[in-house]
Amino acid sequence: MMLQIQNTVVSLDLAEEYFCCDLDQCKGECCIEGDAGAPVTEAEAEEISRVLPEIQADMLPRALEEVQTNGVCYRDVEGDLVTTILDGRNCAFSCYAPGGICLCAIEKAYREGRISFRKPASCALYPLRLTEYPSFTAVNYHRWKICRTAVENGRKKGIRLYQFLEGPLTERFGREWYDELRQACELWLAEHPNR
C-alpha cells in the first residue's frame, strides 16, 4: 500500500520506518560506498559547477583534479546524470572531518554561509529515492546495510523517516505537501499502532 500526496505516490516506509543518521557510527559511508555518484539534475550540475570555486579548498586534491579534468558529473551505465567519483566509489565532493567522518564539501560551504546551494536533492533526501513518471513522482525508501545504525538510532530516539527528512522533503515538495504527508503518516500509525 502507498500514500498518495498531491502528485506523488509515497511508500508507507516513510511512516513505518525509524531513521536518524548517526555520523559518529557510520562515518558518512553513504558518500563513499556505491558504484556510481549521487543522482543530479542538469540544473544541480550547473549549480555545482558555479560553486566549485567556493568548495574546492575543502575537496581532496585528487578529487579536484578529477572534477577539473572530467567535470562535476557524468552519465552512469543506466544513462543517469551522477556526481563524479574517485576510484569507482568515493564521491568527488567528499571531505573529511576529525575522526575520519566523511562530509559533503558542498554542504559544508552551505552551512558556513559561503554558498546558497545545500547539495543535490538526492543527497539531502537520502535514504529516499525519487522516480519521476509522466503523471506522478514515486517516493521510495532505499534500504542499505550501511544505514543500519541510522535505523537503530531512529528507533532509540523515536524518529520516523518522514520526521527525520522534514527539511529536505519540505524543500523539495513544499510545506503544504509535507503537512499532508505528516498528517497521512500520523493517521496511518494511529490506525496501525503496532507498526
What distances in angstroms separate CA 16 from CA 136, 138, 141, 154, 186, one per listed residue?
22, 17, 11, 11, 10
Would you call 124 helix, strand, or coil by DSSP? helix
Residue 89 confidence (pLDDT) above 80 = no
Would you call 77 helix, strand, or coil by DSSP? coil
19-23, 24-28, 96-100, range with greatest mean pLDDT? 19-23
The residue among 79 and 179 whose pLDDT is bigger is: 179
Q: Who contacts 54 (Cβ-Cβ below 8 Å, separation ≥6)? A: 109, 114, 115
- pLDDT level of residue 63 (50, 70, 90 thresholds): very high
Q: Who contacts 12 (Cβ-Cβ below 8 Å, separation ≥6)? A: 1, 2, 3, 188
The mean pLDDT of 164-186, rounded to a whole number, is 96
In degrees, to the nearest 5, what angle opens at C-alpha 150 toward C-alphas 116 and 12?
Answer: 90
Contact of 104 with 168, CB cutoff 8 Å: no
Relative to beta strand 137-141, strand 8-11 is parallel
Alpha carbons within 13 angstroms on the beta-carbon side of residue 161 total: 23
pLDDT at 88: 77
* Prediction pTM value: 0.85
CA distance 22 to 171: 22
CA distance 12 to 24: 28
CA distance 177 to 52: 32
Query: Bridge-partner residues for 86, per DSSP?
Result: 90
- Candidates 164, 175, 73, 87; CA nearest to 124 is 164
pLDDT at 96: 84
In degrees, to the nearest 5, what angle opens at C-alpha 129 toward C-alphas 119 and 108?
Answer: 20
